Amino acid sequence: MQLQDILYSQGFGTRRICAGLIQQGRVQVYQDDPADSQGRCQIPVTVTQASTEVPAKRLRFKVCGDDWVYHERAYLMLHKPAAFECSHKPSTYPSVYTLLPSPLRMRPQKKAIQGVQAVGRLDQDTTGLLLLTDDGQWVHRLSSPRHHLPKVYEVSLKHPADDVQMDRLLTGVVLDDSPDPVRASACCAVSPCHLRLTLTQGKYHQVKRMVAAVGNRVNALHRSQIGGLRLPDTLAPGQWQWLGADDLAALNAIS
């Protein structure tokens, strides 16, 4: 695969821009050091020919001094902080996409620069696990209601929850946009004002509306898990990371 095509596929601009970066000596490719008989040592080598053929699989490279690893598709998790909107065109708060580096926002899809997209959304005041990808089929599979992908929320309440409220959340409450009762698939009290709810639906402001329907109020909301994937304690608000093979397996096993 030509190096300029690799850079283009990873979101470093148009093919002309990518070719220019290479010709200006701003791109380095990691290659095995021949002095290391076991191939463990890699050194960055500057490439100045845009048409240079390099193997894309497991390719490590530098662009303007920043290290990157080739990914045919982008699968990410982000710890969404409060006061960010899950929109490319936010109305009030900053876009959650500004927390990502430029190449992830510029990855091409269907011959157009669209960048990664969020799998579903979190309200601006809701924090926690957000998945992003440039794989449209994966978005559809995880978002489809027929798969009943469970999502776990940590719910901070204004008032202590009683047994009646918890029972109603499990048996179902009626919302104005749903003809059938909406229920949590699991509900447990972590503390009097902290519930852990598991939902397999994704209606607008669902947790807040369900809690209001049983006579309480949500003070803070945090999504801690999607399917078998938990938000790592080591991932701070505003930080992101690539999903590994185990992470993808934890999601795909459910979907």
Domain boundary, last residue among 69, 98, 115: 69
Kindly state whether residues 213 and 239 are assigned to the same domain: no
Of 1, 211, 47, 17, give the one whose Cα is nearest residue 126.
211
Q: In this predicted model, what pLDDT tens digit does every residue of 81-117 receive, in sequence order?
A: 999 999 999 999 999 999 999 999 999 987 666 899 9
Kindly state whether residues 187 and 210 are assigned to the same domain: yes
The pTM score is 0.92
210: pLDDT strictly greater than 60: yes
Rounded Cα–Cα distance for residues 202 and 111 (Å): 30
Kindly state whether residues 219 and 160 are assigned to the same domain: yes
Least confident range from 13-27, 36-50, 76-90, 122-136: namely 36-50
- CATH code of the domain containing 158: 3.30.70.1560
Distances, alpha carbon 114 to alpha carbons 36, 53, 75, 190, in Å:
41, 26, 15, 41
Kindly state whether residues 26 and 122 are assigned to the same domain: no
The range of the structural domain enclosing residue 57 comes to 3-69
Kindly state whether residues 50 and 154 are assigned to the same domain: no
| Number of helical (H) and strand (E) elements in the chain, helices listed first | 7, 15
Total domain count for the chain?
A: 3
Kindly state whether residues 137 and 21 are assigned to the same domain: no
Residue 177: the pLDDT is 81
Kindly state whether residues 240 and 134 are assigned to the same domain: yes
Q: In this predicted model, what pLDDT tens digit does every residue of 157-181 receive, in sequence order?
A: 999 999 999 999 999 999 988 778 9
Kindly state whether residues 213 and 163 are assigned to the same domain: yes
Q: With cut-offs at 50, 70 and 90, classify the pLDDT of residue 34.
A: low
Domain boundary, last residue among 32, 54, 69: 69
Query: Mean of the per-residue pLDDT values for the chain?
Result: 93
Residue 33: active-site member: no
Q: Which of 33, 36, 123, 135 is catalytic?
A: 123
Q: In this predicted model, what pLDDT tens digit does every residue of 141-161 receive, in sequence order?
A: 998 877 789 999 999 999 999
Rounded Cα–Cα distance for residues 216 and 162 (Å): 10
- CATH code of the domain containing 33: 3.10.290
Kindly state whether residues 248 and 122 are assigned to the same domain: yes
Kindly state whether residues 83 and 113 are assigned to the same domain: yes
Kindly state whether residues 56 and 124 are assigned to the same domain: no
Kindly state whether residues 141 and 233 are assigned to the same domain: yes
- CATH code of the domain containing 84: 3.30.70.580
- 3-state DSSP of 101-146: CHHHHCCEECCEECCCEECCCCCCCEEEEEEEECCHHHHHHHHCHH
